Amino acid sequence: MRLLSLPVFCRTAWIAVGASAIGSFAQSATGKGKVKVEEVYQQNCASCHGAKLEGGSGSALLGPEWKHGGDADSLFKVIRDGVKDTPMIGWNSLGESTLRALAIYIREEAYAAAHAKPSTRKTTEDNAPVVTKEHTYRVETVVTGLENPWSLAWLPDGRRLVTERPGRLRILDTKNKLSERIRGTPEVFARGQGGLLDVAIHPDYSRNGWIYLAYSDPRRLDGEDVSLTAIVRGRIKDGAWTEQQDIFRAPLKFYQTTRHHFGCRIVFEDGYLFFSMGERGRSDHAQDLTRPNGKIHRIFDDGRVPKDNPFSNRKDAYPTLWCYGNRNPQGLVRHPVTGDLWETEHGPRGGDELNLILRGANYGWPKASYGMNYDGSPLTPNTSLPGMKDPIIYWTPSIAASGLAVYEGDAFPKWRDNLLAGGLAKQEIHRLVLDGRKVVQREVIFSNRGRVRDVRVGPDGLVYVLIDDKNGKILRLRPE
Ligand code: HEC
């Protein structure tokens, strides 16, 4: 399980295969020996396409020009079916998950050829205008010196609350001065991906003063440190967190020793509170309706459980479930115009997803996915299964999906109603133009300035970006 926390950009991909059989990964996933996906490529493809995918008697596989389409699905199909009357035979015999892995590998190599590796990329700090399709903007630094900032929320008076994953909640005033940590917030499990996560303001905050925090709750179980996502609300008075109430806390038996896949974003709607919980690295739990992890939940904003949740007719189901089969939901947002609930999900390698969240739906993890394991071994040949919802789009290679926002505001009128999806590993923000429930256009509007943890739109219509780093910061996009 430790492998799951490897960076998405791990370039050495291992695929389990039988000792000599290149032929069938699917069967040999149980694994006799281990062969690199690169090796499969070298043995079967390199003679024509070149050892570095640079081309030979076969075409170069690095893009940006593709004869048969360069997206993961087109690559998969051309490798499976071959190209009639050319030396490119169909490789169906390799098995679907191997074909999928090869497609991901080619996408990753093509991406690497077009971009410097994020880890060695020089992040820009300059203030030159950034030209995108619809708008030109400049990047401003709002504040620096934040340790792994995770989330940002506006108070009605223009001040902002910001969480730092190690466990600090701070106030950023209207002059962009950062307060000391708010005293008395819950202790968090600040390990791996765990810690203090989302902060959200009750829609009726001006009247009730409630602030919500999502975090990795640290507990002890059978002599071990365990954790699970929890939500509390409280009020801030004189620099201290007070009047705390539990909003969601699962029974201790559901807590896990792992340090990854916590979720967690909070969305309010009409007295309800939706929130996401990652599967905590226990992929099989995502399909298990008796467990809270790997799901999106619906409760009332005071923590009560609605009687009409989709699985409430099932005695054994965890009562707050809204949907299931989610791996690690990192973005969750209600579209203010259509009312749709959108989610981005940190998938396996090559399988990050944008999902439309529907009542009672199954999002397929880990039975259906476009990705492979981070170690390059096949995960599932199924990208789609009956009774499970396909993603609206998926990202291969993975962007390491993070925060998600819907753009509303006057500063960037041509981005209105678009989704803005952040990516940690790719250090990007993707603008997704919707037509109803379809994504009809995709554009990278922001890149190369560090790992994007969250994207928020301020009441000023400017786009705020949280850069996740030990010395993290908040940036802001302002139109030219
Ligand atoms: C005997 C030579 C040969 C081998 C071996 C071979 N290919 Fe090809 N491949 C070609 C040729 C030639 C084309 C171009 C076909 C055409 O004219 O459209 C091609 C096309 C492709 C394309 C489409 C490229 C585009 O521009 O759309 C992909 C992807 C591809 N091959 C992947 C693979 C993979 C993966 C393997 C190994 C499993 C492989 N090929 C093995 C010769 C080969």
Question: Is pLDDT of 24 > 50?
Answer: no
- The structure tokens listed for 301 are 């904003």
Across 40-44, 349-353, 363-367, the highest mean pLDDT is recorded for 363-367
- Least confidently predicted of 23-32, 159-168, 179-188, 379-388: 23-32
Rounded to an integer, the average pLDDT of 322-332 is: 97
Q: Looking at ligand 1, which atom is closest to the CA of residue 65?
A: 26
Q: Name the band, by pLDDT with cuts 50, 70 and 90, for residue 190.
A: very high
Determine if ligand 1 sits within 6 Å of the CB of residue 221. no
Question: Is pLDDT of 330 > 70?
Answer: yes
At 269 the three-state DSSP class reads: strand
Say how many Å lie between the CA of residue 88 and the centre of ligand 1.
Answer: 5
Say how many Å lie between the CA of residue 15 and the centre of ligand 1.
Answer: 21
Determine if ligand 1 sits within 6 Å of the CB of residue 83. yes
Q: Looking at ligand 1, which atom is closest to the CA of residue 57?
A: 12
Q: Name the band, by pLDDT with cuts 50, 70 and 90, for residue 374.
A: confident
Strands (E), 147-223: 149-154, 160-164, 168-172, 196-201, 211-221
In this predicted structure, what is the pLDDT of residue 123?
Answer: 64
In this predicted structure, what is the pLDDT of residue 169?
Answer: 98
In this predicted structure, what is the pLDDT of residue 38?
Answer: 83
- Quick one: DSSP state of residue 180? P
Question: Is pLDDT of 229 > 80?
Answer: yes
Pocket test for ligand 1, best of 59, 89, 107, 109 (most atoms within 8 A of CB): 59
Cβ neighbors of 26 (< 8 A, separation 6 or more) are 95, 96, 97, 98, 378, 381
Q: What does the alpha-carbon distance between residue 137 and residue 465 come to, in Å, rounded to a whole number?
A: 13
Rounded to an integer, the average pLDDT of 170-185 is: 98
In this predicted structure, what is the pLDDT of residue 39?
Answer: 85
Instruction: Domain 130-479: give its CATH code.
Output: 2.120.10.30
* Alpha carbon nearest to ligand 1 atom 2, residue: 48
In this predicted structure, what is the pLDDT of residue 362?
Answer: 98
Residues 93-142: pLDDT tens digits? 988 888 999 999 999 999 888 886 665 666 666 788 999 999 999 999 99
Say how many Å lie between the CA of residue 82 and the centre of ligand 1.
Answer: 7
Determine if ligand 1 sits within 6 Å of the CB of residue 79. yes
Say how many Å lie between the CA of residue 28 and the centre of ligand 1.
Answer: 25
Q: What's the CA dihedral at 438, 440, 444, 445 to 10 degrees?
A: -100
Determine if ligand 1 sits within 6 Å of the CB of residue 102. yes
Determine if ligand 1 sits within 6 Å of the CB of residue 86. yes
Rounded to an integer, the average pLDDT of 398-426 is: 96
Strands (E), 253-364: 266-269, 272-277, 295-300, 321-324, 329-334, 341-345, 352-357
Pocket test for ligand 1, best of 17, 22, 48 (most atoms within 8 A of CB): 48
- The structure tokens listed for 241 are 């967190």
In this predicted structure, what is the pLDDT of residue 120?
Answer: 62
What size, in residues, is the chain?
480
- The structure tokens listed for 405 are 């926002």
Q: What does the alpha-carbon distance between residue 132 and residue 445 come to, in Å, rounded to a whole number?
A: 6
Q: Residues 395, 323: contact at Cβ < 8 Å? A: no
Pocket test for ligand 1, best of 24, 35, 88 (most atoms within 8 A of CB): 88
In this predicted structure, what is the pLDDT of residue 127?
Answer: 80
- Least confidently predicted of 195-209, 318-332, 370-384: 370-384
Burial 87-109 (b: 16+ CB within 10 A, else e): ebeebeebbbbbbbbbbbbbbbb
In this predicted structure, what is the pLDDT of residue 378?
Answer: 75
Q: 261 an active-site residue? A: yes
Burial 66-80 (b: 16+ CB within 10 A, else e): beeebebeebbbbbb
Question: Is pLDDT of 183 > 70?
Answer: yes
Question: Is pLDDT of 32 > 50?
Answer: no
Q: Residues 262, 229: contact at Cβ < 8 Å? A: yes
Rounded to an integer, the average pLDDT of 68-87 is: 94
Of 260, 261, 346, 430, catalytic: 261
What residues does CATH 2.120.10.30 cover in the chain?
A: 130-479
Q: What does the alpha-carbon distance between residue 427 and residue 435 come to, in Å, rounded to a whole number?
A: 26
* Alpha carbon nearest to ligand 1 atom 34, residue: 45
Question: Is pLDDT of 165 > 80?
Answer: yes
Question: Is pLDDT of 20 > 80?
Answer: no
Could you tell me if residue 106 is left (phi over 0), alpha (psi between -120 and 50 degrees) or otherwise beta? alpha
Rounded to an integer, the average pLDDT of 281-292 is: 97
Q: Residues 250, 228: contact at Cβ < 8 Å? A: yes
- Other C-beta atoms within 10 Å of 439: how many? 15
Q: Name the band, by pLDDT with cuts 50, 70 and 90, for residue 289.
A: very high
Determine if ligand 1 sits within 6 Å of the CB of residue 58. yes
CATH architecture for residues 2-114: Orthogonal Bundle (1.10)
* Alpha carbon nearest to ligand 1 atom 13, residue: 58
In the chain, the amino acid numbered 28 is S
